[in-house]
A and B are shown apart, each in its own frame.
Chain A
């Protein structure tokens, strides 16, 4: 049975009682076998949107490095730009599993749109939702739920990515204002954003305990953007430096307590990790779609190449890699929704999904042969889009450290 029909048959009947349990916030592993009806509907809606509105324009968006403003607004109207935000603040009020499903389906259509949605949800709205005051939530969340505005997350610097604790961007208090100065690097969405969460240190001697988080509107005096990076992939999303020179913001713009910045960053990334895992799954799935379709159509040696074992083994390995990573992602999301510890599982999910994306897109080009190397087919774009997933929001190496630390803790005497 064709792969997608097989996957579809797994979700044919909704589990009604489980759906009710889901409504009460209870999660269980059998949910991995069949998603609740609500989630299935949501997934289908996002899939339809991605197929009809994103997939047809993805190649052109990539070529033009163009931000999909119209689509982001439409997604905002659907509630996808603020999935977890409660309805009272303008969001969709759904859970993280629903969010991961949305990002995967959208990324299957266009990986850049997927990351734009993910950064807005997890990295910008996430920390404000968790650590913001009621006032801050009204000011910095509600306008960013409609798709009219997007936010970004400024942690990395030219001198430190993985070494987040060594932030050198400074925040000095001058009267009733904070003055920020320094440079942030690799900030996704920044050329299209209307606000950012910036991490700066108020006391370098305290090392990571001296870092605090701040909310800065964009544009703002003292904040300027570096040149748009010319990237290998996800080109429709903008990436650049954020340069802070004598940037004044009110004291009320600090997010959380002083010195809490590192903790906020790490917790935010734990969740953001799952958004990226979902994006990687979407890219991988799109690459598999492309390869499997080609295997049916392309004939060589007198038959469709799908009949050849070499191709079959590849497709099997690709599907296995995706499905394994998907289940890890769903499990981590469900643990998070149940308010259980999920750091190790999230790291595993992101690692598995991003490595699956690079593996699957690599093999997809191989299945397509010469056609995989040209822009006529989307395989080359998936290959380029996939590569970044092993790097941002925690490199694969960092994920391994996180997993290892958790394992060692579990086995501590």
Chain B
């Protein structure tokens, strides 16, 4: 997975560690995975900088928070629970100690319990969708999940792979880019936002769904729920416990800032424009 830093994103975001969310209904429990992604709160004050060794971006001292698409996934899971279509919502995140804060945010929104899969140091720096989806698949089997809801992609690396890979590893059906999902008995009706428009599919549970922007509007945690979140449990698990090897098969060659924007040139006529475009090799 080539780590390219896109400055237009970088203005708002930093690193990404595969953001995924699980939601779960029915008799079992489904982990709702949320990821810790580095989201710069005060864009005007903190400039994203590429590390001097060009292996990534600077993450020290930058505030981390839940990936926006993951928030939407957590919200959807909680909505299912409120409609009594789901028995338990479990929030999961992979990463170092700090991700517990993100899990607690999910608990404050209404998730029942959390699972923190500890990955830190070098392993964390190279953690990508393949390893994360292996972890999720293992957890889904262990927890006997029926539904996994993830954010469609993380806003720092924009991989958009984890949901799909998780479904493949589990051999489950998938409904990605969901803008609407309805549980009908043991089937899930998912409306997907695709380039051509909206596609409606019906998939059998257990399944994986990835949340897109218009699926819902995440709630603000209420103060009483924030208090209750303190008492909810977050279990600690290591990838090795799940039989997952987090070693990366990819090597980041380099990370660069995008080239500076060049000034434009004004031309008088269309012929001039065509001439200039030909000169620049654009046509």
User: In the complex, what distance in Å separates the CA atom of A87 from the CA atom of B104?
Assistant: 21
Residue pair A5, B62 in contact (C-beta under 8 Å): yes
Which chain A residues border B267 with CB–CB below 8 Å? none
Which chain A residues border B105 with CB–CB below 8 Å? 41
Question: Min CB distance, A368 to chain B, in Å?
Answer: 14
Given A49-B220, A293-B45, A5–B61 Cβ distance below 8 Å? Answer: yes
Given A92-B222, A94-B227, A41–B45 Cβ distance below 8 Å? Answer: no
Which chain A residues border B222 with CB–CB below 8 Å? 77-79, 92
Residue pair A42, B226 in contact (C-beta under 8 Å): yes
Residue pair B45, A5 in contact (C-beta under 8 Å): yes
User: In the complex, what distance in Å separates the CA atom of A209 from the CA atom of B160?
Assistant: 71
The answer to the question of B46 belonging to the interface, with a C-beta cut-off of 8 Å to chain A, is yes
Residue of B at shortest CB range from A47? B41
Residue of B at shortest CB range from A83? B223
The answer to the question of A160 belonging to the interface, with a C-beta cut-off of 8 Å to chain B, is no
Residue pair B104, A37 in contact (C-beta under 8 Å): yes
- Name the one of A4, A9, A87 contacting B42, with C-beta atoms under 8 angstroms: A4
Residue pair B224, A79 in contact (C-beta under 8 Å): yes
Residue of B220, B223, B226, B230 most packed against chain A (CB within 10 A): B223
Q: Within residues 89 to 109 of chain B, which ones have a CB less than 8 A from any CB in chain A? A: 98, 101, 104-105, 108
Which chain A residues border B14 with CB–CB below 8 Å? none
Residue pair A78, B223 in contact (C-beta under 8 Å): yes
Which chain A residues border B220 with CB–CB below 8 Å? 45, 48-49, 74, 78
Residue pair A41, B229 in contact (C-beta under 8 Å): yes
Which chain B residues border A78 with CB–CB below 8 Å? 220-223
Residue pair B224, A92 in contact (C-beta under 8 Å): yes
What mask results when residues 54 to 90 of chain A are scored 1 for a CB within 8 Å of chain B, else 0? Answer: 0000000000000000000010011110010001000
User: In the complex, what distance in Å separates the CA atom of A9 from the CA atom of B230?
Assistant: 22
Question: Min CB distance, A380 to chain B, in Å?
Answer: 19
Residue pair B45, A93 in contact (C-beta under 8 Å): no
Question: Min CB distance, A6 to chain B, in Å?
Answer: 9
User: In the complex, what distance in Å separates the CA atom of A14 from the CA atom of B221?
Assistant: 19
User: In the complex, what distance in Å separates the CA atom of A36 from the CA atom of B98?
Assistant: 15
The answer to the question of A300 belonging to the interface, with a C-beta cut-off of 8 Å to chain B, is no
User: In the complex, what distance in Å separates the CA atom of A12 from the CA atom of B61?
Assistant: 9
Residue pair A5, B224 in contact (C-beta under 8 Å): no
Q: Within residues 204 to 222 of chain B, which ones have a CB less than 8 A from any CB in chain A? A: 220-222
User: In the complex, what distance in Å separates the CA atom of A98 from the CA atom of B226?
Assistant: 11
Which chain B residues border A23 with CB–CB below 8 Å? 230
Q: Within residues 164 to 180 of chain A, which ones have a CB less than 8 A from any CB in chain B? A: none
The answer to the question of A296 belonging to the interface, with a C-beta cut-off of 8 Å to chain B, is yes
Residue pair B45, A45 in contact (C-beta under 8 Å): no
Interface of B is mostly: loop
Given A2-B46, A4-B45, A41–B226 Cβ distance below 8 Å? Answer: yes
- Name the one of B41, B63, B226 contacting A38, with C-beta atoms under 8 angstroms: B226
Question: Min CB distance, B54 to chain A, in Å?
Answer: 23
Question: Min CB distance, B224 to chain A, in Å?
Answer: 5
Which chain A residues border B226 with CB–CB below 8 Å? 38, 41-42, 45
Residue pair A94, B42 in contact (C-beta under 8 Å): no
Residue of A at shortest CB range from B98? A12
Question: Min CB distance, A388 to chain B, in Å?
Answer: 27
The answer to the question of A281 belonging to the interface, with a C-beta cut-off of 8 Å to chain B, is no
Which chain B residues border A292 with CB–CB below 8 Å? 45
Question: Min CB distance, B237 to chain A, in Å?
Answer: 19
Which chain B residues border A310 with CB–CB below 8 Å? none
Which chain B residues border A45 with CB–CB below 8 Å? 108, 220-221, 223, 226
Residue pair A93, B108 in contact (C-beta under 8 Å): no
User: In the complex, what distance in Å separates the CA atom of A38 from the CA atom of B42?
Assistant: 22
The answer to the question of B44 belonging to the interface, with a C-beta cut-off of 8 Å to chain A, is yes
Which chain B residues border A14 with CB–CB below 8 Å? 101
Which chain B residues border A49 with CB–CB below 8 Å? 220
The answer to the question of A33 belonging to the interface, with a C-beta cut-off of 8 Å to chain B, is no
The answer to the question of A8 belonging to the interface, with a C-beta cut-off of 8 Å to chain B, is yes
The answer to the question of A266 belonging to the interface, with a C-beta cut-off of 8 Å to chain B, is no
User: In the complex, what distance in Å separates the CA atom of A52 from the CA atom of B230?
Assistant: 25
Question: Min CB distance, B97 to chain A, in Å?
Answer: 8
Q: Within residues 1 to 48 of chain A, which ones have a CB less than 8 A from any CB in chain B? A: 1-5, 8-9, 12, 14, 19, 23, 37-38, 41-42, 45, 48
Residue pair A92, B227 in contact (C-beta under 8 Å): yes
Which chain B residues border A5 with CB–CB below 8 Å? 42, 45-46, 61-63
User: In the complex, what distance in Å separates the CA atom of A2 from the CA atom of B45?
Assistant: 6
What mask results when residues 60 to 77 of chain B are scored 1 for a CB within 8 Å of chain A, else 0? Answer: 011100000000000000
User: In the complex, what distance in Å separates the CA atom of A176 from the CA atom of B229?
Assistant: 48
Question: Min CB distance, A35 to chain B, in Å?
Answer: 13
Which chain B residues border A19 with CB–CB below 8 Å? 230
User: In the complex, what distance in Å separates the CA atom of A14 from the CA atom of B105?
Assistant: 14
User: In the complex, what distance in Å separates the CA atom of A87 from the CA atom of B229?
Assistant: 15
Which chain B residues border A293 with CB–CB below 8 Å? 44-45
Interface residues of B (CB under 8 A from A): 41-42, 44-46, 61-63, 98, 101, 104-105, 108, 220-224, 226-227, 229-230
Ordered nearest first, which 5 A-B pairs have the shortest CB separation?
A79-B223, A92-B223, A2-B45, A78-B222, A293-B44
The 11 listed contacts between A and B (C-beta, < 8 Å) are A3-B45, A5-B46, A12-B98, A23-B230, A37-B104, A38-B230, A78-B223, A79-B224, A83-B223, A92-B224, A296-B45
| Given A2-B42, A41-B104, A41-B229, 18 extra CB contacts under 8 A | A4-B45, A12-B98, A37-B104, A37-B230, A38-B226, A38-B230, A41-B101, A41-B226, A45-B221, A45-B226, A78-B220, A79-B222, A92-B223, A92-B227, A93-B227, A94-B223, A293-B44, A296-B45
